[in-house]
Amino acid sequence: MVSATPDHVSNAENCTTTVNIPDHKGEVEQNTTESVTSVSASENYDKIGGFLVLLAIGLFIAPFTYVIDIADSIKVINNGDFELLKDSFQNFMYFNITSSLLLLIFLFFLWASFLYKKQNFPKLMTIYYVLNISTAVIILVSIDKVGLASLLEPKDLKDMSTSLFKGIFAAIIWIPHLFISKRAKGTFVN
């Protein structure tokens, strides 16, 4: 026979169970009452800690890469030969600047969501990774279509490919961590 008070069951903090155990001869029953305390479904963490510190470092370093990318693109546009290049190359440069600027703005929303430990942070981080990877793929494909690959140094193409794979690798690690980790679930609760 199991009995529990409704208040304790609804809060999932304390459950009292009564177990009837027959003695070794099977003739007399003894009543044993045992109190079980269960841990609440998720713990709340006041501070950002654990592996989330690494994510925080990445979030605060990422804007610098976008600023550098925007500055490099503006340098190319301000170069005197920009007007002589094909329209497709000009469109590529404008897309590169616009996408970097939009991702930079999105990072500020991520920062706010991260620092205020909002519940929507894991979803926003997933959207950020999808946008970041999609943009990198579009840029790499358009480099080939525009014919810019022949103008770029092999090192630059390798750096772009490496950054795409780093983005994919980061997404593979952080997206599941944010949705599965006990620490992440207990941190982003506001």
- Say whether pTM exceeds 0.85: no
- pLDDT tens for the 190 residues of the chain, in order: 444 444 444 444 444 445 555 555 555 555 554 444 433 445 777 777 778 888 889 889 989 988 998 898 888 777 766 555 666 677 778 888 999 999 999 999 999 888 888 898 899 999 999 999 999 998 888 887 777 777 667 777 788 888 889 999 999 998 998 898 888 888 888 8
Q: What is the 3-state secondary structure (H, E, C) of the chain?
A: CCCCCHHHHHHCCEEEEEEEEECCCCCCEEEEEEEEECCCCCCCCCCCCCCHHHHHHHHHHHHHHHHHHHHHHHHHHHCHHHHHCCHHHHHHHHHHHHHHHHHHHHHHHHHHHHHCCCCCHHHHHHHHHHHHHHHHHHHHHHHHHHCHHHCCCHHHHHHHHHHHHHHHHHHHHHHHHHHHCHHHHHHCCC
pLDDT score of 163: 86
45: tokens are: 């963490």
Query: Distance between CA 126 and CA 57 in Å, rounded?
Result: 17
The neighbour count for residue 170, using CB atoms within 10 Å, is 17
pLDDT score of 86: 66
pLDDT score of 83: 59
Query: Distance between CA 190 and CA 3 in Å, rounded?
Result: 35
Per the CB < 8 A criterion, the answer to whether 108 and 61 are in contact is no
Query: Distance between CA 71 and CA 96 in Å, rounded?
Result: 11
pLDDT score of 161: 85
